[in-house]
A and B are shown apart, each in its own frame.
Chain A
Amino acid sequence: MRPNIRTEADRSPEFAHWITSLPGAEKIRECMHCGLCSASCPLFAYMDYSPRQLMYLGREGFRDDVLGSFTIWLCTSCYQCTVECPRQIPVTEIMYALKRRAIEEKTYPKRLAIPVLAREFRRMVYDRGRISESWLVMKLMLKTGIHRMFGMVGLGWNLLRTGRFSLRRETIRHRGDLARMLEAVGHDSEVVP
């Protein structure tokens, strides 16, 4: 394990610049470390860095700490931190941007189901325009470890019994629309070239 000491060499000016140029995130420099974001965060207890720490490490350019952090994957986008922050720092939107960049740079912890979910989700939307939840869950289980399936049998049965599990594939009528649209909008890279 690396010792919990940071040096100047760990700082990436590019990363600090990127994070503070996100929409609204220039305010990150005005963070007064009140800790309201962390105190209000429902996932705080499970995080390696608190939201406040993450904002601070980010603005100072500690790229590897931030992008390798578990915190960004724990964030459920509940926006509690955002509404609490007295400096109007868009903490949740910054978390989103960090997820995008971590996915793009593949710096997320191995075998984590969250990025896999995001990718499968995207593929299904691209192909069909709508999400068929049952299919998405099955795909996720196949990709992240079949062992999960055993624990899910009871749950699956309950959904089946109540008519909530459906193998119907939801599709929009103009199926080609989304692919054409998403291609036209172009790829939005988080990484500065």
Chain B
Amino acid sequence: MKKLAYYPGCSLTGTGRAYDESLRAVFAALGEPLEELDDWNCCGATSYMSIDKAKAYALASRNLALAEREEADLLTPCNACYLVLEKTRRHLADSAEMGQRVQHALDAIGLRYEGKVRIRHPLEILTRQIGVERIKEAVKEPLKGLKVAPYYGCQVVRPYATFDDQYDPQTMDQLLKATGAKVVDYPFKTRCCGASQTGTLPKVGLHLVYRLLKEAQDRGADVMAVICSLCQFNLDVYQSKLRRVYDLPPIPILYFPQILGLALGIPADELGIDRCVVSARPVLERRAAHAA
């Protein structure tokens, strides 16, 4: 197995730190502790691509070059980082002109990139490399009775479907099922969460968020499981604001490794469970009481 360099990205050091904490805890519990890519930089996200294309590719490529120097593939949990790095990897492979320009920029800081790095996602590694069977065996506290709506968001499955189905992705569903939880049918799996529009054009962004939450509740979900820190932010922190306008009972939004971690018997504090603005404790306690 090729070495993996963990690329948390900026969000996971900020508002999305529970994703970072729970991922590290889960991988450690499975005997594959994460090693962070040394001195990684911001991938540029959607913002940089809106300003300057060549600079956006150069920025992202530094991370590819750093990983290549470590002879590693990049492990990238955030949807936006995942797509930016994957898109950069593909573009540098396809366009000789951009490849040269970017290499010229890398030369200026003494780095090289020869196209040897693959971009991997934790869902891919957990289901394909570590394997659902191994995870099932490691489950200590099955989450029987917990109903989860799996929400993947956009950029991990679009425009490239690298490791999962574009319309009906399954990898997170498989992991959630392995924990003993019930995965509800959720047709909005890959619908847009509104991204940064919740901040820049709140009226528009918040309505998208509302529809996602409402649908999950109508489908009977106790919690939603997400794979992206921006999705988590939008779905979690704006609920109280939405409640002023809509009839919307609180629904906790957990990162999938938080749910996985609970099933593996990792204490809730180590998984950042209390970093949810809409507390997950009541739902989890109710479930535990029910199961007992």
Are A42 and B10 also in contact (CB < 8 A) when A125-B59, A154-B240 are? no
Residue from B44, B51, B59, B277 having most chain A Cβ neighbours under 10 A: B51
Cβ of A130 and Cβ of B42 under 8 Å apart? yes
Q: Is A129 interfacial (CB-CB < 8 Å)?
A: yes
Stretch touching chain A among B125-133, B170-178, B196-204, B215-223:
B196-204
Complex: chain A residue closest to B167, CB-CB: A83
Cβ of B158 and Cβ of A182 under 8 Å apart? no
Q: Is B14 interfacial (CB-CB < 8 Å)?
A: yes
Stretch touching chain A among B25-33, B99-107, B138-146:
B99-107
In whole angstroms, how far apart are the Cα atoms of A27 and B153 in the complex? 28
Cβ of B14 and Cβ of A166 under 8 Å apart? yes
Cβ of B39 and Cβ of A78 under 8 Å apart? no
**What residues of B have a CB within 8 angstroms of the CB of A133 in the complex?**
10-11, 14-15
Cβ of A185 and Cβ of B192 under 8 Å apart? no
Q: Is A132 interfacial (CB-CB < 8 Å)?
A: yes
Cβ of A78 and Cβ of B154 under 8 Å apart? yes
CB distance from A42 to the nearest CB of B (A): 4
- Considering only residues 1-27 of chain B, those with a C-beta below 8 Å from chain A are 10-11, 13-18
Are A76 and B101 also in contact (CB < 8 A) when A162-B276, A181-B109 are? no
**What residues of B have a CB within 8 angstroms of the CB of A181 in the complex?**
58-59, 62, 105-106, 108-109
Q: Is B116 interfacial (CB-CB < 8 Å)?
A: no
Q: Is A191 interfacial (CB-CB < 8 Å)?
A: no
**What residues of A have a CB within 8 angstroms of the CB of B240 in the complex?**
154, 158
Cβ of B158 and Cβ of A122 under 8 Å apart? no
Place the interface of chain B in its size category: 35 or more
**What residues of A have a CB within 8 angstroms of the CB of B11 in the complex?**
131, 133
In whole angstroms, how far apart are the Cα atoms of A78 and B212 in the complex? 15
CB distance from B56 to the nearest CB of A (A): 9
Complex: chain B residue closest to A188, CB-CB: B54
Cβ of B14 and Cβ of A134 under 8 Å apart? yes
**What residues of A have a CB within 8 angstroms of the CB of B291 in the complex?**
none
Cβ of B192 and Cβ of A80 under 8 Å apart? yes
CB distance from A112 to the nearest CB of B (A): 8
Complex: chain A residue closest to B80, CB-CB: A77
Are A163 and B10 also in contact (CB < 8 A) when A122-B47, A154-B240, A172-B40 are? no
In whole angstroms, how far apart are the Cα atoms of A123 and B269 in the complex? 35
Residue from B39, B49, B55, B208 having most chain A Cβ neighbours under 10 A: B55
- Considering only residues 121-145 of chain A, those with a C-beta below 8 Å from chain B are 121-122, 125, 129-134, 137, 140
In whole angstroms, how far apart are the Cα atoms of A15 and B109 in the complex? 37
Complex: chain B residue closest to A135, CB-CB: B14
CB distance from A144 to the nearest CB of B (A): 8
Cβ of B39 and Cβ of A114 under 8 Å apart? no
Cβ of B192 and Cβ of A42 under 8 Å apart? yes
- Considering only residues 88-110 of chain B, those with a C-beta below 8 Å from chain A are 95, 101-102, 104-109
Stretch touching chain B among A1-9, A55-63, A95-103:
A95-103
Which residue of the partner chain, among A83, A92, A100, contacts B52 with CB atoms under 8 Å?
A100
Complex: chain B residue closest to A156, CB-CB: B237
Given contacts A23-B95, A42-B208, A185-B58, 7 further A-B contacts (CB under 8 A): A79-B158, A121-B45, A125-B41, A130-B41, A158-B237, A185-B105, A187-B54
Q: B interface vs A, CB < 8 Å?
A: 10-11, 13-18, 39-42, 44-55, 58-59, 62, 95, 101-102, 104-109, 154-155, 158-159, 166, 191-192, 194-197, 199-201, 204, 208, 237-238, 240-241, 274-277
